[in-house]
Amino acid sequence: MGLFTGLLTLPLAPVRGVVWVAERIQDEALRQTEDPTAIRRRLAEVDRAREAGEIPPEEAAREEEYLVGKLLAAGPPLGGLEV
């Protein structure tokens, strides 16, 4: 970016900063929701909640089905064997 362009777009700097922060937040949110370890952790939480009677079995089954689908879509773990 040249000096002239930089000066002309200077008023947009706060917008570019907000967009950059929003992109970083989105990246982190996707990392946390798509990470196989996080998905397995959530599966364990759902199982524990079902056993404790905190959620109905039907809701637990739906959540587990959704999470297993995400886990399968994530692919095999790095360095792991494909099942």
Q: What is the pLDDT of residues 46-61, one digit of tens each?
A: 999 999 999 999 999 9
pLDDT at 1: 62
For 48, the token pair is 């524990």
pLDDT at 45: 96
Query: Which of the residues in the chain have pLDDT under 70?
Result: 1, 76-83
Count of H-run helices and E-run strands, the chain: 4, 0
pTM above 0.75, yes or no: no
Q: How many CB atoms lie under 10 A from the CB of residue 46? A: 20
